[in-house]
């Protein structure tokens, strides 16, 4: 037993280690030696062909999908149309009123003409006796509602003095509006918006038509939140420095009126789909291949023989954000660079991988 421990076991361990070493050498060098491949190892290859696209014929629909909210339309302010003391109050907060409904009256004093100056009496004639002062004259002016809705405030009391132009009441129309912010790119795509949009409210009614559609920057007091007057000083350290600035909200909004029979509430979210035109059977190019997006632009046409790219002016039409209608300047089947070179002060990538840092 002592011989086994001192001689046999150590010999077996050495044999096992030798077999492992031979196997590792075989894995490292045996596969190439077995094939007789003694040449250099091939390195990775790079395709230096510029990315290109082809002008094709097809259909394009300019549909802009926006995320917005349902908002209550703001109350309409009623202003006093006369100066004087409040007389009779003829309405109360909460009343349903129409345009022209009397709210209160104003007692307006009427100025009397000055008394004529009498000549002094002649000698020996009795002096004229002045007439007793007449009671002050007044007239009554009625201040009425200027719109239809619910009277939400009436800030007057009997005998209170009011002046022309004082805000004295407010009437809520009780209507709702869908409002959604627009980016710069979306503004350009909605230069000629339709009169309505399709709206979906999660968990609410089915898709409904929202009418009286408008775009632009809302005026203060119109109910739609305006862009902040002072920009946020915080700079996101993780923001993409090459991100498209047209993808940020601009303060402009699209708004449309909710029909009175649609059961939705102020504050709920909504998806707004605005379709501003469709073109069928037109020439199309990728938006990445075109510099410009409205009216006119240019593409880089590839020469069929040399492959050189030449900037060519084109006439542009509708876009869906991925392709754009090209109505002049190139023909069907024209090969163009897939990416516009040299945008935003970045170096040109001749191999079609997009702009790179200069």
Mean pLDDT of the chain: 81
325 phi/psi in degrees, rounded to 5: -70, 130
Tell me the two tokens of residue 125: 């004639």
Closest CA to 283 of 268, 299, 270: 299
pLDDT at 348 over 80: no
Q: Which residue has the higher pLDDT, 197 or 224?
A: 197
Residue 176's DSSP bridge partners are 72
- Is the pLDDT score of 158 beyond 50? yes
Task: Name 137's bridge partners.
Answer: 110
- Are 107 and 87 spatial neighbours (Cβ–Cβ below 8 Å)? yes
pLDDT at 33 > cutoff 70: no
Pick the more confident residue, 328 or 179: 179
Give the pLDDT band of residue 137 (cuts 50, 70, 90).
confident
Average pLDDT over residues 81-99: 95
**pLDDT category of residue 354 using cuts at 50, 70 and 90:** very low
Q: What is the pLDDT of residue 43?
A: 58
116 confidence band (pLDDT: 50, 70, 90) = low
Ranked by mean pLDDT, which of 28-37, 83-92, 339-348 comes out on top?
Answer: 83-92
Q: Is 9 helix (H, G, I), strand (E, B) or coil?
A: helix
- Burial label for 314, CB within 10 Å (0-12, 13-18, 19+), is buried
CA distance 218 to 320: 26
- Would you call 202 exposed, middle or buried from its count of C-beta atoms within 10 A (0-12, 13-18, 19+)? exposed
Residue 12 pLDDT: 75
Query: How far apart are alpha carbons 57 and 325 in whole angstroms?
Result: 9
Task: Give the Å distances, CA to CA, from 241 to 235, 236, 244.
Answer: 11, 10, 9
- 167 or 128: which leads in pLDDT: 167
Q: Which pLDDT score, from 0 to 100, does residue 148 have?
A: 94
Per-residue pLDDT, 30: 61
The gap between the terminal CA atoms of the chain, to the nearest Å, is: 79
**How much is the pLDDT for 129?**
61
What is the mean predicted confidence (pLDDT) over 105-109? 94
- Please state, in angstroms and rounded to a whole number, the distance separating the CA atoms of residues 135 and 126: 27
Residue 241: pLDDT band with limits 50, 70, 90: low
Tens-place pLDDT, residues 285-341: 999 999 988 889 999 999 888 888 999 999 999 999 899 999 889 999 999 999 998
Higher-confidence position of 337 and 19: 337
Cα 301 from Cα 311, distance rounded (Å): 6
Higher pLDDT, 12 or 32: 12
With a cut of 50, say whether residue 223 has pLDDT above it.
Answer: no
Residue 213 has pLDDT above 90, yes or no: yes
What value does the mean pLDDT take over residues 263-269?
93
Give, as one character, the DSSP assignment of residue 330: S
pLDDT at 281: 95
Name the band, by pLDDT with cuts 50, 70 and 90, for residue 271: very high
Residue 237, pLDDT > 70, answer no
Give the C-alpha separation, 336 to 51, whole Å.
9
| Contacts of the segment 199-207: beta carbons below 8 A, 24+ positions apart | 199/256, 199/258, 199/270, 199/271, 199/272, 199/273, 200/270, 200/271, 200/273, 201/70, 201/264, 201/268, 201/269, 201/270, 201/271, 202/268, 202/269, 202/271, 204/263, 204/264, 204/268, 205/262, 205/263, 205/264
Q: What is the pLDDT of residue 342?
A: 75
3-state secondary structure 230-284: CCCCCCCCCCCCCCCHHHCEEEEEEEEECCCCCCCCCCCEEEEEEEEEEEEEEEE
**Cα dist. 261→73, 95, 176, 178, 208 in Å?**
16, 22, 11, 15, 10
């Amino acid at each position: 037993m002592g011989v086994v421990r001192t001689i046999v076991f150590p010999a077996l361990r050495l044999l096992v280690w030798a077999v492992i070493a031979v196997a590792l050498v075989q894995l490292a060098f045996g596969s190439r030696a077995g094939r007789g491949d003694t040449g250099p190892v091939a390195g990775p290859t790079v395709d230096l062909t510029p990315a290109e696209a082809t002008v094709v014929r097809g259909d394009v629909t300019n549909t802009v999908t926006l995320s917005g909210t349902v908002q209550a339309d703001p109350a309409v302010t009623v202003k006093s149309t006369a100066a004087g003391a409040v007389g009779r109050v003829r309405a109360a907060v909460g009343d349903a009123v129409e345009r022209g409904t009397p709210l209160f009256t104003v007692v307006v004093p009427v100025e009397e003409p000055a008394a004529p100056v009498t000549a002094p009496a002649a000698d020996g004639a009795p002096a004229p006796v002045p007439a007793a002062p007449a009671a002050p004259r007044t007239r009554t002016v009625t201040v009425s509602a200027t719109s239809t809705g619910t009277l939400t405030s009436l800030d007057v009391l009997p005998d209170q003095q009011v002046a022309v132009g004082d805000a004295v009441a407010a009437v809520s129309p009780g209507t709702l509006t869908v409002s959604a912010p627009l980016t710069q790119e979306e503004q350009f795509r909605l230069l000629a918006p339709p009169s309505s949009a399709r709206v979906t409210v999660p968990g609410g009614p089915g898709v409904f038509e929202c009418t009286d559609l408008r775009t632009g920057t809302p005026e203060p007091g119109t109910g739609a939140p305006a862009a902040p007057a002072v920009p946020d000083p915080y700079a996101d350290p993780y923001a993409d420095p090459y991100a498209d600035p047209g993808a940020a909200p601009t303060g402009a909004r699209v708004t449309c009126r909710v029909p009175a029979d649609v059961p939705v509430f102020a504050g709920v979210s909504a998806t707004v789909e605005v379709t501003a035109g469709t073109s069928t059977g037109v020439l199309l190019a990728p938006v990445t291949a075109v510099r410009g997006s409205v009216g006119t632009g240019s593409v880089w046409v590839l020469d069929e023989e040399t492959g050189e790219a030449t900037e060519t002016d084109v006439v542009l039409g509708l876009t869906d954000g991925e392709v754009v209608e090209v109505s002049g300047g190139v023909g069907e089947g024209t090969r163009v660079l897939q990416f516009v070179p040299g945008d935003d002060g970045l170096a040109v990538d001749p191999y079609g991988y997009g702009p790179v840092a200069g």
